[in-house]
Structures are given as structure tokens and as C-alpha cells.
Amino acid sequence: MKKEPLVSIICTVFNKEAWLCQTINSFLAQETTFPIEILVIDDASTDNSRHIIERYVKQYPNMIRAIYNEENQGIAKTWVKVCQYAQGKYIARCDGDDFWIDPLKLEKQVTLLQNTPHSKWCNTDFDMYNEHGQLISRAGFSSGTISLADTYEKMLATRGFTMASTWLVERDLMLHVNSMLDLETSDDTFNLQLDLFQYTDLTYLSEATVGYVINQGSDSRPKDFSKVEQRFNRLLDTQKEYLDKYPNGNKRVMLDILLERNNRYELELTKREYGLAKIGIEKVTIYFSNDTGEFSQENTVQYPLAKRDDITIKLPKGCTKIRVDLSEQASFYAYVRLVSCLSGTTILPSFINGVVIGEAYMFPQADPQLIYDIPKEFGDELILHYMAYSVDNIQSDDYVAKVLSQEIFELKMKLKELERLRIQVQQQKDIIEHYRKQKIVKRLYHGVGKLLKKMINVFRRKK
């Protein structure tokens, strides 16, 4: 006799053909001490998703059940519908493009909830992947890549995130919360989370059990700005609705969260006023070598990054090498010169992690560095001269793209001139070769004539 499942895995699908096999296989790979079932609902996909689901149902008829919407219903209606079919005590959610990376995910979460009687809902950490399956970031919550909204106040104030594909929720609670869901909402998980927090604490497992796929074509990441604006405005409406729906929420906590966020945003906006180059924010850091020729953070001096500057550098005793970090981000300079005050000599770098074009120094990657060897003949006082290209003002004459475009244009013109000269030289060579061959033929002709005369003379003598 078939045992009732303890956990119902629910997977919602709409045009997830590219990821669906990986997703379902990750369910099948779960190792549990209890029975499970897999419910997959297809919301009228227009790709091959339905055929993939049918193939898995045929292969695993006792484990996988499928539900098909003949017309697209949207995620909220689809979620509410499929949950009605769940038979387990718990519902585990996973979207059709995410996948589970820990075969013990369900076992760990069931144990966690059984050992936490006050909680009926748990989630876990997760790893992040792009839509091509490449790992972007490990442990999204623990690393701080994304903040975990583990209270109602955080969720409402920040439109937070608990990673729905990691959820395990008691079925009865999920059905109750589903009954309150606005079926026209722009993000079903936002509403669901806000309501879940009213009935239970969220218990968090700090292990990554899910691969979260950041799909740039998904509904939550529209490329059209008008759709982004529409989505944000609808989320704002939801936030306002829930302020009235649950008036006993701790508004002071929410206000503190919003004030701190506003302060961070103000700081970020202020930084942007300094431009992409972050003139005045970034630092020029000069490292001095120790007796063994190594660099350390303890032996440095710093200066604010300027558009143009002349920095006097006094070498510590025994220093024979310096490293210059021109900010911590990609940057571009019309010139960078290190000059000995004693001899007036311009010292060339022994190492650079950028590209030199004439006098210009280009650092397309972060953390631009130059290392200079300083023989004692150059003395212990140097001057670092530099001037940064503009990366913000497209109208300025030293806008880096404009300068590089001009450089490329001039190089192309020089290449054309060189090609013209090469053709002329080749033509001259061809002419010379032509005359050289003619001269050889003429010599051969004269040589043959002389030989014939000699032969005739020989015959004459024989007579």
C-alpha cells in the first residue's frame, strides 16, 4: 500500500524548457527517510515544457503528478490552484528555473521544523547562478549579497527576500495564507511572506541548499523601464495595503529601517555626483618596500585622487621599490610620470597591470597598479605627476572615449599611409626585378652570340 507523502514538492512552470530537467532531477535526487510527492503545474507554456513534464510523469508515475493550465493564469492563480492537490503535511516550493543542490535539503528542513515547535515555516541559504548555469555567488544570505528579511517589519519596509525556492511550510498554513492572496498581485511571494509572518516565525537554515537562477528574461526583471516602473508602483500599493491590513506592526522598527536605507541611498547618490572617476573619493595609495622588497598596508601613504596632481614622495630609508595604486577602480590617464628630483630622470615602471598607449596609461580593470624600481642614484625624493582623462563629460575634449577614438583614427590613417608606401615599395621592387631580368636576358643573348662566333671560327679553321 502506498504511503501518504510527508512532503509535497510543488514546482510552477511557465516556459522553463531550458532549466526544467535540471530542476526535476534535483527533486528526484532527494534522499529522505519519509515519502515525498512531486507536483508540477504548467501554466500553458508555449515552449517544450509540457512535453518534458509528460515524459517525467510517464517515467515516474508513482512520484510525479502533473497539472496543466490550458490558458495562462499567471503565477498567483497557478500557485493557489496547485497547492490544493498537495497531500503532504509540508509543502516545499521551487520555481521551474531554480534547482536544489543539497540531496538532504528536505531531510534537514523537516528535522529543523520538528525541532522548532513554534515555527511552521523555514528557509535556507542559496547559491546564485546566471541563466547559463554559471555560478555567480555562494551563500547569498550569509555573504551579504542579498539581505534576509526574517521579520514582517523588514519584509514590508524593504520588499525583502526569503528565497521562495528554499521554503518548507506546513500545508494547512500555506492553504490558509493562499486563501487571502490577491490573485492580481505583481509578486505572489511578497504577499505570501507578509501574511506568513503574521502566523509563524521563520526558521532559517544557514546552509545553501538551492541554486537560484537569475533569469534576465523573467517577469521580476523586465527590460522595459515602463514595466519596471509599473511593477514597483504595484509593490508600493501592496506595502500601503498591508500597513492597513496589519495595523499592529511595529512602525518604529520599520521607520528605523527606512531611515537607515534612505541615508545609505543619499550617500550613494552623493558619490555619483563625484562622477564615475570618483575624483575626491578614491585614493592614490603609494606602497614602500621593506628591507626584503615586499609591500604591506602598514608602510603606505595616501592622497585623494585628483583630476590632475603632482605628488612629492619621500622614500623611507632602505626603500628601493614603490608601488602606486591609482585608485581602486578602472581608470584612465593622459600621462603618469615618476620623476627623480635629484637627476630629473623620468623613471619607467618595471610592472604595470594596464595598457600604455604613447604617454597614456589605460587601466580597464579594477585596482590599477604600477611598480617602480628606484636605484639609489635617483635619490630619495620623487615627484609623481598624473592627469586623469574625463570619464563623465562626453562633451569634454579629454573624454576618454573621444581621446581613444582619435588615437584609433590616427593609427588607422598611419596604417593606410604605411600600406600605400608598402605598395609603392613593392612596385619599385617589381620594376627593378623586371629590368634585372631583362639585363640577364641581354647578357645571355650576347653570350650566345659570342659562342656562335667562336663555333664558326672553329669550323673555318678546320677548312
Residues 52-86 pLDDT 10s: 999 999 999 999 999 999 999 999 999 999 999 99
CA–CA dist 187, 402 (Å, integer): 44
pLDDT band at 220 (very low <50, low <70, confident <90, very high): low
- Cβ atoms within 10 Å, residue 403: 19
- For residue 25, the model assigns a pLDDT of 98
Average pLDDT over residues 93-100: 96
Q: What is the per-residue pLDDT for 397?
A: 74
**Cα(39)–Cα(28) distance, rounded to whole angstroms?**
12
Has residue 223 got a pLDDT over 90?
no
Q: For position 150, what pLDDT does the model report?
A: 96
The pTM is what? 0.67
Give the mean model confidence (pLDDT) for residues 405-416.
80
Q: Could you tell me the three cell numbers for 127? A: 547559491
Specify the pLDDT at position 210.
98
Is the pLDDT at 443 greater than 90? The verdict is: no
- Report the pLDDT value the prediction gives residue 273, as an integer from 0 to 100: 62
- pLDDT, residue 277, reads 64
Per-residue pLDDT at 314 exceeds 70: yes
